Amino acid sequence: MLKEETIGIAVLDEAGAGGIPNRDEILHAQALRKVFSSGRQQIVPLDSVHFSVARGEMVAIIGPSGAGKSTFLHLLAGLDTPTSGEVYFAGDSLGSLKEAELADYRNHSVGFVWQRHHLLPDFTAAENVAMPLLVAGEAQGRALQTAKEWLAKVGLETHAEQMAGELSGGEQQRVAIARALVNRPTLLLADEPTGDLDERSAESIFALMQRLHQSHHLTSIVATHNLSLARRTDRILQLEQGKLTPAKEVLAGTAAFVAREASAGAMTPGERV
């Protein structure tokens, strides 16, 4: 497993670096660029993005659909490679890791939660949560016991033997969160984790993520459209037109927009924008 130690990278300009000083950084992206080709057209969702997150922070990434939030999280998780630039975890460049080291990073240092839970519907909740442990070679009995302990942590101790396909949407997302954390990662990356849920379920899931973030000393990065939830994180950044900008430059305008729409009866401040 990669070592977790403070990295010493020069402090970048706030607008470029994503807005935090160089204090106990755990994850750092330097001049990150990603280019997709579609015929003769080039799509650039990330264009020289600088980003740093301190150990223990919870950061929200907002931006319009298609802006590149998912691509950004995939690069941070080592699930994709940048066209140029580097991602560093605990001082190690992901681009310099051997395949086995990169797999270890993905399996042990990162927990990933998607908008759609990607559970196996014909397996029990406990079996779904146990999958990462079984893949890592843990004995089945011990893996299932640990999975049940994690289901208790997300409020589903009585659903361990229930088929995942029989659970509600909110319950399935709780199982997905338990699965993401069962290997006790350092980082929790979540891509629109409440996007498919109603307002009440979204609030419950986000409150659960905040509680686990604190109790398990996680560093969390959450991509979301929900500004009401994003405002409850430590820091908000906006990704748009390939650039990552500090929230202080966008929230004033966004808040005014939400207020105007709410007064017109079109939406409430907690709704997605």
Domain presence at residue 177: no
Domain presence at residue 271: no
For the chain, the C-alpha Rg in angstroms (whole number) is 19
Domain presence at residue 81: yes
Domain presence at residue 171: no
Range 239-262 average pLDDT: 65
pLDDT reported for residue 177: 97
d(CA 19, CA 16): 7
Q: What are phi and psi of 198, to 5 degrees?
A: -70, 170
Does the pLDDT value for residue 20 go beyond 70?
A: no
Q: Give the pLDDT confidence of 164-214 residue by residue, as tens digits.
A: 999 999 999 999 999 999 999 999 999 999 988 889 999 999 999 999 999
Domain presence at residue 244: yes
Does the pLDDT value for residue 56 go beyond 50?
A: yes
pLDDT reported for residue 266: 42
Does the pLDDT value for residue 255 go beyond 90?
A: no
Which own/partner pairs from 117-120 qualify as long-range (CB within 8 Å, at least 24 positions apart)? 117/172, 117/173, 117/175, 117/176, 118/176, 119/164, 119/165, 119/172, 119/175, 119/176, 119/179, 120/164
C-beta neighbour count of 14 within 10 angstroms: 13
Does the pLDDT value for residue 153 go beyond 70?
A: yes
Range 154-172 average pLDDT: 95
Mean pLDDT over the full length of the chain: 85
Q: What is the pTM of this model?
A: 0.82
Range 216-231 average pLDDT: 94
Count the domains in the chain: 1
Domain presence at residue 158: no
Range 241-257 average pLDDT: 67
Domain presence at residue 10: no
Q: Give the pLDDT confidence of 114-131 residue by residue, as tens digits.
A: 878 789 999 999 999 999
Which sign does the torsion angle of CA 42, 115, 249, 244 carry?
Answer: negative
Of the candidate ranges 62-66, 100-104, 144-148, 216-220, the one whose mean pLDDT is the lowest: 62-66
Higher pLDDT among residues 48 and 272, named by residue: 48
pLDDT reported for residue 260: 47
Domain ranges, residue 96? 26-104+111-118+185-263
Does the pLDDT value for residue 273 go beyond 50?
A: no
The CATH number of the domain where 217 resides is what?
Answer: 3.40.50.300
Domain presence at residue 5: no
Helices 140-153 and 169-181 cross at an angle (nearest 10°) of 120
pLDDT reported for residue 263: 55
